[in-house]
């Protein structure tokens, strides 16, 4: 499987490049559109909830502490949801290609990840520009971002590929997962702090693998310190489990995908 993917590496790289270029074809603002949506969400949440949450970030000496907090969490969540949502339909959307061309089907998820990572990189750079305007430039712990990104991608790939394969055969799965992701967002401490949750529910909150990951992004980008590695163990285990399940399901079903599509 790995050998086949390696043999098609130039196809994967060229597809990522083509997808990135086509995304901004005839667009005057180009990559700016990638950050406008997250910034709009941050602005809405900040305007509505800033007065409630203002006293909950005593460690950050900035009048823009709450918008920065939301943006720090949104960065990781945006990468996660883009990969998952696109993987849910990656085989369905490329059904005609799978029927006409002979290439490893796992190339499609890798193209999705590559494209999402480029989008994330552009978003991250623009986010730093916004942080600069807000007078907040974290750089002491920025090297921890590579670990957080790796865990985020692994978790998103495992979940997205697992349900993406099943979605080929049971199309309701994709619709259900889109609803699940909406609830998942509010079950992740992105627009609220864990301190406002009663302590007896903290254990349930940590069962969400994106909780530990999001808190890691917030530690690095908001507090400019290393993430709590103990909170990244559980998300890493969940990511590995889903990756194994995804590969198992894919191996069982990949030969029948073209016929179903």
Q: How many CB atoms lie within 10 A of CB 50?
A: 15
With bands split at pLDDT 50, 70 and 90, how would you rate the model's confidence at 19? confident
pLDDT digits (tens, 9 = 90+) for 125-173: 888 887 888 788 888 889 999 999 999 999 999 999 999 999 999 989 9
Report the alpha-carbon distance of residue 93 to residue 261 in Å, rounded.
9
**Among the listed residues 132, 144, 119, the one whose alpha carbon sits nearest the alpha carbon of residue 20:** 119
Question: What average pLDDT is seen over the chain?
Answer: 86
What DSSP element (H or E) covers 209? helix 209-221
26 secondary structure, DSSP code: T
**Among the listed residues 108, 111, 117, the one whose alpha carbon sits nearest the alpha carbon of residue 82:** 117
**Among the listed residues 138, 91, 67, 72, the one whose alpha carbon sits nearest the alpha carbon of residue 256:** 91
What DSSP element (H or E) covers 224? none
Q: Greater confidence, 179 or 258?
A: 179
Report the alpha-carbon distance of residue 143 to residue 73 in Å, rounded.
17
With bands split at pLDDT 50, 70 and 90, how would you rate the model's confidence at 209? very high
Angle between helices 230-260 and 209-221 (to 10 degrees): 120
Global confidence as pTM: 0.89
């Amino acid at each position: 499987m790995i050998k086949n993917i390696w043999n098609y590496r130039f196809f994967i790289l060229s597809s990522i490049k083509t997808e990135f270029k086509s995304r901004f074809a005839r667009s005057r603002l180009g990559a700016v559109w990638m950050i406008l949506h997250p910034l709009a969400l941050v602005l809405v949440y900040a305007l509505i909830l800033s007065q409630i949450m203002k006293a909950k970030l005593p460690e950050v000496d900035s009048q823009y502490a709450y918008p920065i907090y939301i943006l720090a969490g949104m960065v990781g969540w945006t990468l996660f949801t883009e990969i998952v949502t696109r993987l849910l339909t990656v085989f369905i959307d490329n059904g005609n290609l799978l029927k006409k061309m002979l290439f490893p089907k796992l190339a499609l998820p890798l193209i999705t990840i590559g494209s999402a990572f480029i989008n994330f990189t552009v978003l991250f750079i623009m986010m730093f520009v916004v942080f600069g305007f807000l007078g907040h430039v974290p750089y002491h712990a920025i090297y921890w971002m590579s670990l957080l990104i790796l865990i985020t991608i692994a978790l998103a790939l495992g979940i997205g590929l697992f349900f993406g394969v099943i979605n080929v055969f049971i199309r309701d799965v994709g619709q259900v997962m889109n609803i699940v992701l909406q609830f998942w967002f509010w079950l992740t401490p992105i627009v609220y702090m864990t301190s406002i949750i009663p302590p007896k529910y903290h254990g349930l909150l940590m069962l969400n693998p994106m909780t530990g990951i999001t808190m890691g992004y917030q530690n690095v980008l908001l507090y400019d310190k290393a993430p709590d590695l103990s909170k990244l163990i559980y998300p890493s285990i969940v990511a590995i489990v889903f990756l194994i399940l995804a590969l198992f399901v894919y191996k069982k079903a990949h030969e029948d995908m073209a016929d179903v599509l």
